[in-house]
Amino acid sequence: MPLHQIALWVMLFFLLAGLAGIASAHGVANADATFLESVRGVAAGPFVYLGAKHMVTGYDHLLFLAGVVFYLYRLKDVAVYVSLFALGHSITLLSGVLAGWHISAWLVDAVIGFSVVYKALDNMDIAGFSAVWRRYTPDSRLAVLLFGLVHGLGLATKLQDFQLAPDGLIANMLFFNLGVELGQLLALALILFVLNLLRRLGCFTALALQLNLALLVAGLLLMGYQLTGYLLVG
């Protein structure tokens, strides 16, 4: 079997393994939830850890980030797009929790699934399709910022399910957000390592369409799961 096909099957395996945990893409483990509700005062270390843990186990975040950096070759471009995503994510994460915004988590996560679909379509160079797509879609940097806002709101809706003590809340949310950004850097480093490995092996071009098709399917599954949950559970 050609090397690029082996690489594709390996990625699809991990993709499906990730989707097996789709229900907890933005969830908070029971032990972590108990800790969150028991904290009184500032707890910098634990909140940094929980923020990083959220990011590196958030399959929706990882899929979107993979789509964002898929065709970025210069470190400068990676920094710009990732910074825009981090800015949007931070704004709504902090504002959503501190201001007490109440929005259906199912619907927010459905839009997050759509963000993966959007980025996959944006990456797919299909004859005649790309020109029409880009004519009716915003600048890619603006799109990443807007979807960053949605991703941050997704976690904020989950944190609102818990009774967080007001004592030290602002500081703890800042530390949590710091952990999210550190986790993002860690996840991004791994994603870029895999993409650069595929580029050096010379199979990147052959895999590009298949990999983005996999992202597209994953995003559609995320959307379908969340919309079904909204209709059945609401």
| Tens digits of residue pLDDT in 34-43 | 777 788 889 8
Q: What end-to-end distance do the CA atoms of the chain give, in Å? A: 46
The pTM score is 0.83
Whole-number Å distance between alpha carbons of 95 and 148: 13
Q: Where are the alpha helices (DSSP H) in 23-74?
A: 30-38, 44-56, 59-69
Q: What residues contact 185, with CB distance under 8 A and at least 6 apart?
A: none
What CA–CA distances, in Å, run from 92 to 28, 96, 133, 230?
18, 5, 28, 21
Where do we find the tokens 């108990």?
A: 34
Full pLDDT tens readout for the chain, 234 residues: 455 555 555 555 455 444 444 444 455 566 777 777 788 889 898 899 988 988 888 888 889 999 999 999 888 999 999 999 999 999 999 999 888 888 888 999 999 999 999 999 888 876 556 666 667 777 889 999 999 999 999 888 888 777 788 888 899 899 999 999 999 999 999 999 988 888 887 778 778 888 898 899 999 999 999 999 889 886
